[in-house]
């Protein structure tokens, strides 16, 4: 078996949670190329941004902060229904692959861009690698669950974060040889940026990002406030559900502990649409911020006493920092983050009683970091080594037959 001299790869990003997962991969590829030996391939990587997230603060700011190079191509897909986003992405990505095919397409996470590019890649007979494979919420009403199932079924290489993800894939009949437990690539980014984040001034973050017309929450002191983020359709897209949740937040949570609410664009739209903005605005214990940068979010996580969120990535970051996390969902695809598996998070859905109970008990815990195996900051290096080793014709044929 001789390795090819050059391996071509297309790495895909689409939405904010993808950026922190692709940054370490690109860095590890550069490091690999810098010490390439005879017999090991040079890896030529192109970066494609589908443009699902496009606001400066949701996209460009992250490219700059995470030191991600300009994408080679931006497909400019933008907002739309799921079918619109997936359909437009597939059409545009097909063109990219037809014009210049690659040996591998690498997708990360579970957003619409992940699934759309996975389908397109395999239909054009490209080999597909999925980073963060095997996560399952077992909730088919989540668009991300459908994206995960489709992407994993199609992938030739499945890079997983933990043993529970491996078990999910094996149960679904994926071949063991395709599954590689490499750890959590997001932790690579977290560890790289942690020292810079630690040095950031909390007051400056609260001032810089305060929403227009609101006084900045400069009186907040470390460990004396909670951070809140919300964006899942189940929480914010239905008027009754979101209205009830806002009531819980304003009447139960904020009087207990001041809340720094970092607002996602989807959530901001819904607050306006459902006439909830003024209620939030007029609650003294709630401090609303526009989306913050990557390091700033890390700083808020370190500084807060408690996190309330429906984001999967934040659940994981809370584990590393040990921040108690009230997960405003009924299920999670990341069971590793839960208290019963050694993590820091409890599931409450948007149920007021469960939130109140979690606030009283879980919210009183001290910070206790939890670092699962392989969440060590070196996941990207392991992925690049496997990709390079798997780039032989022999392995390709083997994989193509298998799945």
Q: Which helix (H) or strand (E) holds 181?
A: strand 179-181
Query: Exposure of 81 by Cβ count < 10 A (0-12 exposed, 13-18 middle, 19+ buried)?
Result: exposed
189 binds ligand UD1 per the rule CB under 6 A: no
Taking CB under 6 A as the binding criterion, the range among 53-61, 219-227, 299-307, 379-387 that sits at the site for ligand UD1 is 53-61
Residue with Cβ nearer ligand UD1 (85 or 156): 85
15 binds ligand UD1 per the rule CB under 6 A: yes
- Give the HSE-up count for residue 358: Cα atoms under 13 Å, Cβ half-sphere: 25
Residue with Cβ nearer ligand UD1 (151 or 323): 151
**317: nearest Cα among 137, 193, 186, 134:** 186
- Looking at the DSSP bridge assignments, the partners of residue 179 are 158
Task: Give the E-state strand segments of 188-256 in sequence order.
Answer: 226-229
74 binds ligand UD1 per the rule CB under 6 A: no
Maximum alpha-carbon separation in the chain: 68
Taking CB under 6 A as the binding criterion, the range among 11-19, 60-68, 97-105, 382-390 that sits at the site for ligand UD1 is 11-19
DSSP characters over 283-299 = -TTEEEE----HHHHHH
| Binding residue count for ligand UD1, defined by CB under 6 A | 20
Q: Which residue in 10, 16, 97, 355 binds ligand UD1 (CB under 6 A)?
A: 16
Q: Smallest gap, in angstroms, from Cβ of residue 361 to ligand UD1?
A: 27
- CA–CA separation, 123 vs 125, rounded Å? 5
Structure tokens at 142: 């989540």
For 201-230, b/e burial (b = at least 16 CB within 10 A) is ebeebbeebbbeeeebbeebeeeebbbbbb
Q: State the catalytic residue, choosing from 209, 231, 287, 370.
A: 231
Residues 267-286 that bind ligand UD1 (CB under 6 A): none
Question: What is the x/- site pattern for ligand UD1, positions 225-264, by CB under 6 A?
Answer: ------x--------------------------------x
CA 299 to chain centre: 17
- CA–CA separation, 304 vs 252, rounded Å? 18
Q: Which residue in 103, 132, 144, 166 binds ligand UD1 (CB under 6 A)?
A: 144
306 binds ligand UD1 per the rule CB under 6 A: no
Beta carbons of 344 and 363 less than 8 angstroms apart: no
Q: Smallest gap, in angstroms, from Cβ of residue 225 to ligand UD1?
A: 22
Residue with Cβ nearer ligand UD1 (83 or 199): 83
Whether 126 is catalytic: no
53 binds ligand UD1 per the rule CB under 6 A: yes
58 binds ligand UD1 per the rule CB under 6 A: yes
Taking CA atoms, 169 is separated from 134, 146, 150, 288, in Å, by 5, 14, 12, 40
- CA–CA separation, 319 vs 214, rounded Å? 31
Q: Smallest gap, in angstroms, from Cβ of residue 56 to ligand UD1?
A: 8
Residues 30-49 that bind ligand UD1 (CB under 6 A): none
Q: Which helix (H) or strand (E) holds 74?
A: strand 73-74
- Helix (H, G, I), strand (E, B), or coil: what is residue 29? helix
143 binds ligand UD1 per the rule CB under 6 A: yes
211 binds ligand UD1 per the rule CB under 6 A: no
Question: What is the x/- site pattern for ligand UD1, positions 99-128, by CB under 6 A?
Answer: -----------xxx----------------
Q: Smallest gap, in angstroms, from Cβ of residue 262 to ligand UD1?
A: 11
266 binds ligand UD1 per the rule CB under 6 A: yes
17 binds ligand UD1 per the rule CB under 6 A: yes
76 binds ligand UD1 per the rule CB under 6 A: no
- Helix (H, G, I), strand (E, B), or coil: what is residue 189? helix
Q: How many CB atoms lie within 10 A of CB 290?
A: 16
- Which are the catalytic amino acids? 231
Which residues sit at the interface with ligand UD1, rule CB under 6 A? 15-17, 52-55, 58-59, 79, 110-112, 143-144, 231, 264-266, 311
């Amino acid at each position: 078996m001789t390795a090819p001299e050059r391996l071509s790869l297309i790495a895909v990003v689409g939405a904010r949670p993808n950026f922190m997962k692709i940054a370490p991969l690109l860095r590890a590829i550069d490091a690999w190329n810098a010490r390439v030996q005879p017999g090991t391939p040079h890896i030529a990587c192109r970066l494609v941004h589908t443009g699902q997230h496009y606001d400066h603060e949701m996209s460009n700011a992250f490219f700059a902060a995470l030191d991600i190079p300009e994408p080679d191509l931006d497909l400019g897909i933008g907002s739309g229904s799921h079918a619109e986003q997936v359909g437009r992405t597939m059409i545009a990505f097909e063109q990219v692959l037809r014009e210049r095919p690659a040996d591998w397409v690498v997708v990360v996470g579970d957003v619409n861009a992940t699934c759309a590019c996975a389908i397109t890649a395999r239909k054009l007979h490209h080999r597909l690698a999925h980073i963060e494979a095997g996560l399952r919420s077992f909730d088919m009403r989540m668009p991300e669950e459908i994206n995960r199932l489709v992407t994993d079924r199609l992938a030739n290489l499945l890079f997983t974060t933990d043993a529970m993800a491996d078990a999910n894939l094996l149960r679904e009949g994926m071949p063991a040889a395709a599954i590689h437990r490499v750890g959590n690539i997001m932790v690579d980014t977290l560890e790289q940026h942690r020292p810079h984040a630690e040095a950031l001034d909390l007051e400056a973050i609260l001032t810089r990002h305060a929403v227009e017309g609101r006084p900045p929450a400069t009186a907040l002191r470390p460990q004396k406030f909670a951070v809140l983020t919300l964006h899942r359709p189940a929480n914010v897209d239905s008027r009754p559900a979101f209205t009830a949740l806002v009531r819980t937040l304003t009447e139960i949570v904020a009087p207990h502990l001041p809340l720094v609410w970092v607002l996602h664009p989807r959530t901001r739209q819904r607050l306006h649409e459902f006439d909830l903005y003024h209620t939030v605005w007029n609650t003294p214990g709630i401090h609303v911020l526009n989306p913050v940068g990557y390091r700033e979010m890390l700083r808020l996580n370190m500084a807060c006493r408690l996190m309330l969120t429906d984001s999967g990535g934040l659940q994981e970051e809370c584990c590393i920092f040990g921040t108690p996390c009230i997960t405003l969902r009924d299920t999670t695809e990341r069971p590793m983050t839960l208290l019963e598996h050694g993590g820091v998070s409890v599931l409450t859905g948007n149920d007021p009683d469960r939130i109140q109970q979690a606030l009283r008990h879980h919210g009183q815990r001290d910070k206790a970091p939890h670092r699962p195996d392989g969440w060590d900051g070196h996941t990207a290096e392991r992925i690049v080594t496997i990709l390079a080793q798997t780039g032989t014709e022999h392995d390709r044929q083997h994989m193509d037959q298998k799945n």
